[in-house]
Structure 1
Amino acid sequence: MAPFNSTSRLAALRSLMREKGVDVYIVPSEDSHSSEYIAPCDARRKFISGFTGSAGTAVVTLDKAALATDGRYFNQAGQQLDANWHLLKTGLPDVPTWQEWASEQAAGGKVVAVDPSLIPSSVAEKLDEMVQKAGGSGLKAVSQNLIDLVWGDERPARPSNPVVLLPEKYSGKSTAAKLADLRKELDKKKAAAFVLSMLDEIAWLFNLRGSDIIYNPVFFSYAVVTSDSATLYVDESKLDAECKGYLAQNNVSVKPYEAFWEDAEDLASAAMSAAEAAGAAEPPKKYFISNKASWAVKLALGGSRFVEEIRSPVGDAKAVKNETELEGMRQCHIRDGAALIRFFAWLEDQLINKKAVIDEVAAADKLEEFRKEEKDFMGLSFDTISATGPNGAIIHYKPERGSCAIIDPNAIYLCDSGGQYLDGTTDTTRTLHFGTPTPEQKKAYTLVLKGNIALDTAVFPKGTTGFAIDCLARQFLWKKGMDYRHGTGHGVGSYLNVHEGPIGIGTRKQYADVALAAGNVLSIEPGYYEDGAYGIRIENLALVKEVKTEVPPSDRPFLGFEHVTMVPYCRNLIDESLLTEQEKEWLNESNRTILEKMKGRFDGDELTKAWLERETRPF
């Protein structure tokens, strides 16, 4: 992975900064909708720095440049950034956040600027305070994006792909019912309207799906919902007759995507008139936006005087799957598991028996072929991480066609992959060794597996957060002085984004703010990584459900997990001496379930049947 030469692009950006009177320019990863995964036209941070990870913020001054990212990407960023860049390893002791670093550069009255559509309002306001406290002139909103000006005509066009209706046999609930629930929340909060900017929330609310962002079935849009109206801002040319009919049936108006900004300003004017009529500084009812909505959205709606930021009620509702969605998750994981089992059996046969030379991309392509044969497959849910040996230690590694490694049958192979299906979204990681692993590798794998089992079998009272239970997955590693630099679990959408808030399992502050609830779908994915040697991760998706306890709870129910991933674990990497009898029985029960679900799926495929029977033999 050779570093990208950023010299000329940084020079062009700094020339524009001088022209615009900007001393410090911030380049976030996200698009105008706070999307984690973005369309090529919005990859501004990648354009200026060369760093391709999904998380990170670049800060450029007239003579320095820094990029901040988290532990998932330390290794990758170290390889991709050239000497023009200083890497801020977020979360490590004595390493400043990008906000702190930017504020330090602002001392002496310097101007810090950002495109207001690319940064959440709450982050912008906090940064403004930090900059002023450090002696800067505050945070300036520059609506004409400077990276776009440097990019010029080479910048890709914004996607405008067709939008399709997701039938209620998959969504489980009509848009009319979802809107009614949202309006109840608005009434409780005495809100004038809720303004939606998150693409997956809009797709879920209106039972529509798109393909404007690769791997994420969403489309560029905004929406405004009041007590008696709902407006979807999307280019009408993207909607077919079925979509238009469904929206009309559910009393949803459609306006052009760009019309949102003018309408937002009209809403601000209406709020001002309401305030004046009431003889008050603020209107009787405010507009509510998500705490992830951009600074630009808040400014267009009139700022703090007319706007209140909250955790999105749509995001909360979307995270609690209905029975149709939960059953869809179970079913799509059976089909996805079958594709993975066929792939692992095929790969082992090719490497060991046929002595084939297969690189990481060719393996990922073959896995996608197997998935395409499964019912209702709509595409991948993210770039497949197909990593041999030391590449597995790069937590979010992406093999590049033509320059990736050949899979070494005598090294650990890590495969993290997922699919989008009409009835759900999958994300599974398995780590394998086709030869003879070292005792240290077997020990590390088994400790990771023990953590996965400990969290899978956890029982906890309603109201418990993912922050509180994260340590259950790390405990066995911690006892040996080992750990991993990523979260233990993330929420997963229902034929939507593979990373879905607001819930998760990990040490991030936001995971302490939202309790897990029955109906949530999360990943459980502890790991261990030896830089330059290998990576281990074991990931299942699990549904949160109510569980019965020996003593009936007096005041609140208890919750637990039901894992739906149907792929066995690597017997070759398990050190059985490190497992308890209870852990062995858990593995045996898991394997019995996999065999039951896969019954009849591999008739005539003796290779796959033999592999599955070997990997699921009882302990």
Structure 2
Amino acid sequence: MVKKDGLWKLTQLRALMKNVQPSGWSLIRKKGIQALIVTGEDAHQSEYSTERDQRRCFISGFRGSYGTVVILHDAALLWTDGRYYQQAMSELDPPEAWTLMREGLLDTPTITAWLAANLPSKSVVGADANLISFTEWTRLQNSLIDAGHDLIPLSENLVDKVWGDDQPAPTANIVLPQLLRYSGRSAGDKVKACRNAMQENGTTILVVTALDAIAYLLNWRGSDIPFNPVFFAYVILTLKDVHIFIDRSRLSQEALEQLKNEGVDPIFHAYEDIHVYMKSFVQSCSFEKDKMWISNKSSFALHPDVATIQKHTDITPISVMKSIKNATEIIGMKAAHVRDSVALVKYFAWLEDKIKNTNELITEISGATRLEQFRQEQAYFVGLSFTTISSVGPHGAVIHYAPTAETDVPITDKELYLCDSGAQYHDGTTDVTRTLHFGEPTSFERECFTRVFKGQCRLSTMIFPLKTKGNYLDTLARESLWGVGLDYLHGTGHGVGSYLNVHEEPIGISWKPHPDDPGLQSGMFLSNEPGYYEDGKFGVRLENVELVVPAKTPYNHKNRGFLTFETMTLVPIQTSLLDVSMLSDKEIEYLNNYHVKCLEVLKPLLRGPENIQALKWLEKQTLPISRPNCNLAR
């Protein structure tokens, strides 16, 4: 039997690249392509994908959620960001065949710059146009053309051909309703709001491809992609009709009835007919009267279908609509974070007791499993919102580390423990990170932890004008680290969905600008998660989910309106890890007030003999801190 290892996969793929025979491209004088671009996204440009769509992982071995692979006949490269440098180095298969391109470092060229410098003259680069957004495809194509090369869409996916019969089958799980008591707004009202936006922008057709946008619009939820309550479908809205492209056999009767009761009577089509329908639909449109709203975030492959009519390519109105939570969603998100915080408090209390008072061995995996069990005890629990990052010592420096049977190690009192986890509840989505030490940290670990906390505090307490871009706030969280020459190579915050994707576009707080960021507005939820990572030694990250709320200010310049954050996560920060002498009075007051709130909200939920351990831990962890020789009472 042939050993289908990484080298075999690359060899097979390169053989296919030599025999590609694209048609209709005048620049191609002979068969074959000189380079192939492989992504890990699906046809909806989802951040996380099903096993079937993890082509980047299949061909490279790299399992991270972000990165782009470029294959040449004599080279194989992976571009990924700072979250995944260490992970990629350990997973690329075979390591000697791959070059890791550390995106975000000053000396790392972009994909197109590297290709321009390394491809033979007049080379042809191929890719699956279904798996790359219109924005990214256009950027790549223009840069390659400027360098004398070309980018072409392939008629078949070459990685799929290498994968063959071993490629997992598509997922097609049941679709269920998201009840109005959780969504707070009917599907009919959301459709109406979309049509109002369409008319304001002079469009008569709206194409919706993002899976979380479709789930939000229809008040449906699914489970096609792990951890994300979405399902595979497309939606096309006209000013009169709602067209849904999905296998109807997947729809529960409850989902169908709720959609009708909420004022939407859709026309159904097969999922696979999206291209056929769009082409036939466009043919019946008038160039003068009709204009299609199709986001540049959608796949490049969809855009040629509408080449004969006018296009509006802004992000869809649903993107902003779902980012600004309504009153019902805000209540649900707050309640979900309270219950989730109860689970975390129970876990950390249990874990500390096991480490300090027993000989029982708790590992990264068994710890994560116990945490999930505590979450399962909470009302409205559906599942995790991502794989729990349960990481000890050096593993904490691997920013998106996920323990495996091969890497699993005990959690002890000798090293830092970083736990980044979250859950999906019917009324909300959570994401929280805490770093703890159950023994004596080094002075440097303590300093790093304190500087990370100072950054989180600085961002959480900031007051800023309405619609400030998240990108402008990023430096606040890094200021204390930058001052001593430290930094972290990931964003500071991401949008959080309401029983939707834990990473929700288009908002975020990062050193990289979010091009479609509409600006922060009241009702948005974002994470606040600065960190620091010492390769091979430890990682520190603190993460809370914040709600954007109106700020109370003595002035309101030109009636602009000012905002701030309200922290949803209610899990104590380990004060024994702090160097209190580094904290300002304001930071001490902030933390003490935060801990008062943690205790006041969670204590009533930890009654009964079964919760004594958790309650004692909570009370201890929320004791006020003060500078030496100061006496700050609660």
TM normalised by structure 1 equals: 0.96
1:117 pairs with 2:130: yes
Conserved 8 A contact 2:320-2:518:
no
The answer for the alignment partner of 1:198 in structure 2 is 210
Select the residue among 272, 286, 305 that pairs with 1:300: 305
- The match for 2:292 is 287
| Kept in 2: contact 1:106–1:131 (CA 8 A) | no
Aligned length: 605
Name the counterpart of 1:278: none
Deviates more, 1:17-26 or 1:7-16: 17-26
Cα deviation, 1:521-571, whole Å, max 9, x if unaligned, reads 000000011000000000000000111102244321100000100100012
User: Which letter maps to 1:257?
Assistant: Y
Q: How is 1:190-339 mapped onto 2 (pairs within 5 angstroms)?
A: 190-249=202-261, 250-271=264-285, 274-275=286-287, 283-302=288-307, 305-339=309-343
- How far does the alpha carbon of each residue in 1:311-338 deviate from its partner, in whole angstroms, 9 at most, with x for none? 2211111111101111111100000000
Task: Give the letter aligned to residue 535 of structure 1.
Answer: G
- Letter paired with 2:279: E
The answer to whether structure 1 residue 618 and structure 2 residue 630 are counterparts is no
Cα distance between partner residues in 1 of 2:282 and 2:228? 32
**1:408 & 1:159 partners in 2: Cα distance?**
39
What is residue 80 of structure 1 aligned with on the other side? 91
Conserved? CA contact 1:51–1:80, under 8 Å: yes
Q: Which amino acid counterpart does residue 298 of structure 1 have in structure 2?
A: H
Check the 8 A contact 2:183/2:328 in 1, yes or no: yes
Secondary structure in structure 1 of the residue aligned to 2:301: helix
Give the AA of the match of 1:520: M
2:78 to 64, 67, 91: 67
Is the 8 Å Cα contact of residues 268 and 306 (structure 1) preserved in structure 2? Answer: no
**Corresponding position of 1:389:** 393
> Corresponding residue for 1:26?
37
Does structure 2 retain, via aligned residues, the 8 Å contact 1:117–1:143? Answer: no
* Paired residues of 2:603 and 2:615 also in contact (CA < 8 A): no
Partner of 1:480: 484
Cα displacement (A) at 1:511: 6.0
Q: Trace 1:484-499 onto structure 2 (pairs within 5 A).
A: 484-499=488-503
SS in 2 for 1:191: coil
**Any conservation in 1 of the 2:556–2:562 contact (CA below 8 Å)?**
no
Residue-by-residue CA offset, 1:585-615 (whole Å, 9 max, x unaligned)? 1111111111111123222122111111110
What is the alpha-carbon distance in structure 2 between the residues aligned to residue 404 and residue 268 of structure 1? 54
Residue by residue over 1:390-421, the C-alpha shift from the partner in whole angstroms, topping out at 9 and shown as x without a partner, is 00000111111354122232100000000000
Pairing 1:440–2:453 present: no
> Does structure 2 conserve the Cα–Cα contact (< 8 Å) formed by 1:389 and 1:408?
no
**Cα separation, partners in 2 of 1:18 and 1:411, compared to 1, 3 Å:** same
Equivalents in 1 of 2:155, 2:601: separation in Å? Answer: 54
1:159 equivalent among 156, 171, 183 = 171
Q: Which residue number corresponds to residue 183 of structure 1?
A: 195
2:57 to 46, 51, 55: 46
Aligned equivalent of 2:102 = 89
Q: Structure 1 pair 256/392, CA: closer, same or farther in 2 (3 Å)?
A: same
Given that 2:176 and 2:252 are in contact with CA atoms closer than 8 Å, whether structure 1 keeps it comes out as: yes
- Alpha-carbon displacement from aligned partner over 1:31-62 (angstroms, at most 9, x marks no partner): 10000000000000000000000000001011
Moved >6 Å (runs of 4+)? none
**AA matched with 2:11:** A
Q: Which AA in structure 1 matches 2:64? A: G
Between the aligned partners of 2:142 and 2:606, the Cα distance in structure 1 is 62
Pick which of 50-59 and 404-413 moved more. 404-413
CA RMSD in angstroms, aligned pairs only: 1.4
Number of the residue aligned with 1:502: 506
Question: In structure 2, the residue corresponding to 1:596 is in which secondary structure?
Answer: helix
Q: Would you say the 8 A contact 1:336–1:374 is kept in 2?
A: yes
1:455 correspondence with 2:422: no
- Structure 2 partner of 1:127: 140
Question: Is 1:7 matched up with 2:7?
Answer: yes
What stretches of structure 2 of length at least 5 have no aligned partner? 21-31, 626-634
Decide which of 150, 158, 164 is 2:162's aligned counterpart: 150
Partners in 2 of 1:238 and 1:390 — Cα distance? 44
1:448-496 CA distance string (max 9 Å, x none): 1111111110001113111111111111111111111000000000000
Q: Which amino acid aligns with 2:214?
A: I
User: Which among 535, 544, 551 is matched to residue 548 of structure 2?
Assistant: 544
> Contact (CA 8 Å) 1:107, 1:135: kept in 2 or not?
no
- Tell me, what secondary structure is at the counterpart of 1:215? coil
Corresponding letter in the other structure for 2:284: A
- Which amino acid in the other structure matches residue 301 of structure 1? V
Shift of 1:513: 4.6
| Preserved contact between residue 235 and residue 245 of structure 2 (Cα < 8 Å) | yes
Structure 1 unaligned spans of 5+: 276-282
Residue 346 (1) aligns with residue 350 (2) = yes
- Does residue 521 of structure 1 match 2:525? yes
- TM-score, normalised via structure 2 length: 0.93
Distance, in Å, in 2 between the alignment partners of 1:124 and 1:287 is 20
CA distance in 2, matches of 1:213, 1:589: 39
**SS of match in other structure, 2:546:** strand
